[in-house]
Every structure is written in C-alpha cells, then in structure tokens.
Amino acid sequence: MPKLMTVPAGFWKVFGPGLMWAAAAIGVSHLVQSTRAGALSGFAAAGVILLALILKYPFFEYGPRYAAATGRTLVEGYRRIGPWALWLYFVMTLATAVIHQLAVLLLLAFLIQFALGTVAPVWVIGGLVYVACSLLLVAGRFRGLDLTIKVIVTALAVSTLVAAAIATPRADFSTLSLSPLAATALPLGFVLALVGFMPAPMDMSVWSSLWTLAKDRAVGQRASVEMASLDFKIGYVGTAVLAFAFLMLGAVVMHGSGETFSEAGPTFSTQLVELYTSTLGEWTRVVVMVAVLTTIFSTALIVIDAFPRTIDLCLPNSRGEEEPGRDHPTGRVYWVALVAFGLLNVLGLSLFPENLTPMIDFATIFAFATAPILGYLNLRAVTSEAVPEEARPGRAMLILSYLGLVLLGGTTVAYLVGRVF
C-alpha cells in the first residue's frame, strides 16, 4: 500500500483533537471573514487565504507535536522558556477571551433570532447558549465535547460543500488569483483581519495541545508525534477546503450584486442567509441554515471551554507548579473563569447588541498583531531541550517557520507604524 494511504497503528483510537481544532477554527474566520472577502472582491483574496494557511501551519502544528512529544501542554512549554513568556501569553489570553467569545455569541444569537423568528433580546439568547454549552461541558467533560464536535463538523462539512457545489456553476472566476498582491483591491485593515483569524487565531495552538492530552487520557492511549501530527493535518486540510468553499459562496452570492454586508448584526445575519437562498434557490434554505448554525455553535462550544482551560493552567504554572498531562476542567480556576466569562459576555451582549462586524474586525486584527509573538514562543518551545531531538520539526518546517515570522512580524510592524504616523 502506498505510504500516503497508511496510518499509524492505533491512530483511529486517538483521532479527534484535530477535528475539534477545525471546529473552533471554522467559525468567524470562515463564515464571516471568508464570505465577506468573496463579497468584496470575488476570488481576489484566494492568494491571501492560501498564504495565511501555509505560513501559519507550522506554528499550529507545534501544539499537538509538543504535547505528544513531552506529555505536557504548550502552556507548560512557555513556562520553561521563562516567566515572561507565560505571563505574556496569559495577558494576551485575557485580552482576547471576552471579545472572541462575545463576537461568536453575538453572531450566533442573531442567527438564532433569524432562524426561529424570535424577538428575544440577544443577551438572553447568548446567555442561554452559554449556559447550554457550559452544562454540556459539565455533563460530558472531554468525551461529550469530542463526540458532539465530531457530529457537528460532519454536518458542517457536508452542508457547506453541498452549498459550494451548487454555487460553482454560477461562479465568475475572472477575479481568481493566487497572488497575495491581488488582494490590494481590499482595504488593508480587512486583509489583516482576514489573515488574523485565517484559519484561526494563533492562541488556538495551545488549545490543540490541551485536546491532544485530553484525548490520550480519555482513551487510555498516548498518541505518538506521528499520530498527533496526522490528526492535526486532517483537521487543517478540512479548514482550508472550507475556507475556499465559503469564499466561493461569498463571491457567487454577493460580489457584483450591488449588495454589501451591513455592520449591524440583525441585518448581517438576514443578508447572510437570505442572499444565499435567493441566489442558490429557496430549496437550499435548510442546507444553508444547517451550515451556518453548526459552524457558529461548534465554535461557541469550544471557545467557551478553551479559554477557562488555558487560564486554569496558566496560574498554577506561574507559581512553578508543573502538572504533566493535566487535561480536564476540574480546577477551581476553571469554574471561576467559566462563570466570570459568562457574566462578562451577557454584559457585553446587552451593551453592544448591534456592532457585529466592527467587533469581529477588532478581534481579528488583534489576533494578527499577536500571531508572530505566539508563533515565536511556539517555535522556542518545540525546539527546546524538553522535546526529544527526534520529535523536533525538520528543516523544511523550520525554514517555513522563520519565513512566517518574518512576513507576519514585518507586516504587523509596518501596519502599526502606518497607523501611528
């Protein structure tokens, strides 16, 4: 059998963390930003999306690689670099947690309003979603999250690819370009926002290291570096395919139609679904709604769990307490963070009930600015003495990592300088 068709023995037993990563990644970056990119410029953003997927891949892959090689999370890897690295990650996590969760819950609340025809306030709907996700996490822990995400991602992939296949005959590929320079037709701020969450914010590399260890414990088998890397690749390729599927839908539905996406959440949600069905046919409404709702719900479920998990690890590690393999939300800090974030999200939903796309753009641009910092920390961790030499990334991955740091870091500095001067 050809090498590409083989999988390591026992792989399917530990398969799953990559799908969880994909489910978290596919939300805002794909449904909102990829679709908006297609609406604004057709297929001109294809090159930017492809470049982002290539440049950021090594830094995301280092999460499960580090976990499989050491039995520890990247949070503990940061502590080994130095207290400054751990505290830097902790501060960035606090800065992004609420705004990330808030953007996801706000979009999901608007979509539920539209799907059910309810006039309930978004803070009520968002609060109920947060409670429902929290109860699922309490009841099922990792096994419940793992199974739920597998079902959701399957429904998401099938429904989205069906919608994209329906749209393909209507597509105008005259704007297609794989050169990132073609995206100059887009506002620079939007391009950076697109890259910031494409396919995901860089802090999700830590989450994948957590999920790798959680899966190991759940099934009673430790994944090898080869298994963890393959599992992640499957999820990553899936996010890449769906990124272009949503770009296709945005280009077919919106580009050249004279319509633009509104910054107001209720109008945006209505446009997102109605313009798809009006272009692709009313009979596709169910397909589109399933794709949209499952996308954002899967993201909401995961971000609600992941931020408290990482904070629960940061604080003990800041005191020099290394806890190998800690992978489930039993710590007091987790529960406090889960409740605190819930209250902050309800407050945020009540204060900013309409500003959807500005909030998303802020979160994604911030993610872009912090990407080279977290990428550097991941590279330091995975090439440290804690990782056996045979488990460290090869030369090609290292070259791609350095190239990514230069391009992402240089663009960030240029953007910030341009904003100041």
Output Rg (C-alpha) for the chain, integer angstroms.
Answer: 20
Domain assignment of residue 134, given as a range: 3-383+390-420
Q: What is the pLDDT of residues 358-375, one digit of tens each?
A: 777 778 888 888 899 999
Lowest mean pLDDT among 2-6, 266-270, 276-280: 2-6
What local confidence, expressed as pLDDT, does residue 273 receive?
A: 77
Q: What is the pLDDT of residues 23-56, one digit of tens each?
A: 888 877 787 888 888 888 889 999 999 999 999 9
Q: How far apart are CA 327 and CA 218, in angstroms?
A: 10
What local confidence, expressed as pLDDT, does residue 403 receive?
A: 96
What local confidence, expressed as pLDDT, does residue 345 receive?
A: 92
Tell me the average pLDDT of the chain.
84
pLDDT for 234 beyond 90: yes
CATH number at residue 41: 1.20.1740.10
Closest-CA residue to 216 (of 70, 380, 332, 378): 70
pLDDT for 279 beyond 70: no
Q: How far apart are CA 251 and CA 242, in angstroms?
A: 14
What local confidence, expressed as pLDDT, does residue 144 receive?
A: 62
Lookup result for tokens 């590279």: 379
Q: How far apart are CA 33 and CA 42, in angstroms?
A: 13
| pLDDT class of 2 with cuts at 50, 70, 90 | very low
Q: What is the pLDDT of residues 149-207, one digit of tens each?
A: 777 777 777 877 888 888 888 888 888 888 887 777 778 888 888 888 899 889 899 99
What's the rounded mean pLDDT across residues 372-394? Answer: 95
Question: What DSSP designation does 354 have?
Answer: S
What pTM was computed for the model?
Answer: 0.89
Reduced to 3 states (helix: H, G, I; strand: E, B; else coil), residue 20 is helix
What local confidence, expressed as pLDDT, does residue 145 receive?
A: 64
Of the two residues 385 and 9, the one the predictor is more confident about is 385
Distances (CA, A) of 192 to 187, 197, 389, 413: 9, 9, 35, 12
Lowest mean pLDDT among 59-73, 93-107, 277-291, 399-413: 277-291
The total number of structural domains in the chain stands at 1
User: What share of the chain in percent tops pLDDT 70?
Assistant: 91
* Cis? peptide before 324, omega within 30° of 0: no
| pLDDT class of 322 with cuts at 50, 70, 90 | low
What local confidence, expressed as pLDDT, does residue 142 receive?
A: 61
Q: How far apart are CA 308 and CA 306, in angstroms?
A: 6
What local confidence, expressed as pLDDT, does residue 235 receive?
A: 92
Q: What is the pLDDT of residues 66-102, one digit of tens each?
A: 999 999 999 999 999 999 999 999 999 888 888 889 8
